[in-house]
Amino acid sequence: MTHPIEILARAIEARGSAALATVVEVKGASPAKIGAQIVLLADGTAGGTVGGGNLETAILSDARAAMTSGLPVLAHYNLTEEGQDAVGALCGGEVRVFIQPFLPPPQLIIVGGGHIGRPLKVMGEAAGFDVIVVDVKPGTANVSGLESAQLSTDSSVVLITTDHISDEAALRWVIDSPVRYIGMIGSRHKCQTILGHLRADGITEDRLERIYAPIGLDLGGPTPEEIAVSILAQVIAVRRGGKAAR
């Protein structure tokens, strides 16, 4: 049998999500032993055991919740049929389990390197993002680097190329993707012009409302570094449920 830690290591290496549950305290009769571990993967498969039965089912349910929240938890279970923290068992003991989620880093995709993209990459990496910079040739509408990216619900896409043609091409590519954040740099006139093109092609308002354009929080800073701060702050606000006014 493969050890839960080995399964966890493989999941982390593959940039997958997982949660490791470890029994840290046992009182009274219990099928679980201190140190027993089980790992839950994003696809619902599990490796290892913490005693089976209703207790293990309850632990796996809490592990799934921890993967969703991204927060560790010290969970308590009563091996009784009724009462607080009861799991519907007859053993009568108590178990505490530490559940630690392991999630891949959020992805920040910067379309267009340039004078803003460079400091944004450094800041994004410092904030814990897996940063991918997609360079584009101005005026070509070629965003092949973006097309090959693996976009997910924990991806944020920043469009800061040097021309409106590339920005619009990239925007069209990501507008229907599952990404959490889409931001596009530019004046209000430029942004409204591009959004007008998408409207004319039948892109609905609810899809356009996903776009933060002009990009970034209104911090007032004019330098590339200050603009990068405003962009990253907005990305983090959207991801964490903070205030990210358009």
In this predicted model, what pLDDT tens digit does every residue of 191-243 receive, in sequence order? Answer: 888 888 989 888 888 888 899 988 999 898 899 999 999 999 999 999 988 87
pLDDT at 234: 95
Alpha carbons 32 and 49: distance in angstroms, whole number: 9
CB count, 10 Å around CB of 71? 11
Q: Write down the residue that tokens 């097309």 correspond to.
A: 147
Topology of 107-240 in CATH? Rossmann fold (3.40.50)
In this predicted model, what pLDDT tens digit does every residue of 50-76 receive, in sequence order? Answer: 988 899 999 999 999 999 888 999 999
Domain ranges of the chain: 4-102, 107-240
In this predicted model, what pLDDT tens digit does every residue of 13-35 receive, in sequence order? Answer: 888 899 999 999 999 888 889 99
Alpha carbons 101 and 244: distance in angstroms, whole number: 27
Q: Check if the beta carbon of residue 149 is closer than 8 Å to that of residue 179.
A: no
Give the phi and the psi of residue 148 in degrees, each rounded to 5: -90, -5
Q: 187 is written with which tokens?
A: 């004046």
Query: How far does the chain reach from its first CA to its final CA, in angstroms?
Result: 52
